[in-house]
Amino acid sequence: MSTEQTQIFHSDQLHWKEVDVRGTPMMEARTMNGEHGIYSAFYRLPRGTEIRPHRHESWVQVMVIEGCMRVTAASGTELIKAGDCYVVPPGGRHAEQSVEDTLVLVVSPDP
């Protein structure tokens, strides 16, 4: 992707592929892959998808675009619905479960 031009990502033109996220299969469509030191991607999580407790080396921001997620962290368990987001600090332990079919946008420093 050129970093000199504005990039438009129409939802019906995203390139989806199956990936394994910490042992959980899901669909991913990357939008940035290291440009400007940022990684971002959309993920589709079918209802009931669980991502076991884990940590990230750096911060991670997750915005729920559609659906609803249950996020469990040191601060407790929260339901995060469409339009909400959460930020996990470096080293923050957390787990996620989709309460319904869910679409999220994940942004973090390039891993």
Per residue in 73-91, pLDDT (tens digit) is: 988 999 999 999 999 999 9
Domain assignment of residue 9, yes or no: no
Domain assignment of residue 41, yes or no: yes
Domain assignment of residue 7, yes or no: no
Distances (CA, A) of 8 to 11, 27, 45, 49, 91: 10, 20, 23, 29, 32
Domain assignment of residue 8, yes or no: no
Which CATH number covers residue 91?
2.60.120.10
pLDDT in tens, 57-70: 999 999 999 999 99
Q: Look up the domain containing 28 and give its range.
A: 17-109
Domain assignment of residue 12, yes or no: no
Domain assignment of residue 46, yes or no: yes
Q: Which pLDDT does position 37 carry in this prediction?
A: 87
Provide the 10 A C-beta neighbour count for residue 57.
Answer: 10
How many domains, in total, are found in the chain? 1
Q: What is the pTM of this model?
A: 0.89
